Amino acid sequence: MSKTRIFALLGVVIMLVAVFTNPSKEKINEKLSLKAKEILKKQLDYKHKDAVDLGMMLIGDQVVNEFVNNYTYTENYYLFSLAKINWNSEKITIGGGAFGQVWISSKIDEKAGMLIDALKR
């Protein structure tokens, strides 16, 4: 078998693996929710951890779900997926996923901070 055929078959195999292991929208939203909860806890910056945990149970989960459902969306390209945020008519890529893994960019810290500042006003 020639090298060209081997590389072509290898490329096809890699693409098939990428298609079948592309993370779902739910998995990406789960990672975004975890990151948003982490950001919200950091923004609250209370001294009493118990108060923060109680606040997160009562209000934080709702705010995080609101953020993920209303401001973020996922574009699926079959080989990989991109998570984007829609803020003030800007569409910014904040993460991606491929081969069963999800990566979240540090840009979400900046945009979530802007959203929390807007909510505090």
What pLDDT is recorded for position 106?
84
Reported pTM: 0.78
The phi, psi pair for 119, rounded to 5°, reads -70, -30
What pLDDT is recorded for position 49?
66
120: pLDDT confidence band, cut at 50, 70 and 90? low
What pLDDT is recorded for position 62?
81
Q: Is 94 helix (H, G, I), strand (E, B) or coil?
A: strand
Q: In what order do the strands lie in the sheet with 72-76?
A: 72-76, 81-87, 90-98, 101-104
Average pLDDT score, the chain: 84
pLDDT: which is higher, 119 or 58: 58
The phi, psi pair for 73, rounded to 5°, reads -150, 165
> Mind listing the pLDDT tens digit for each residue in 60-116?
678 788 888 888 899 999 999 999 988 778 888 999 999 999 999 887 777 766 766
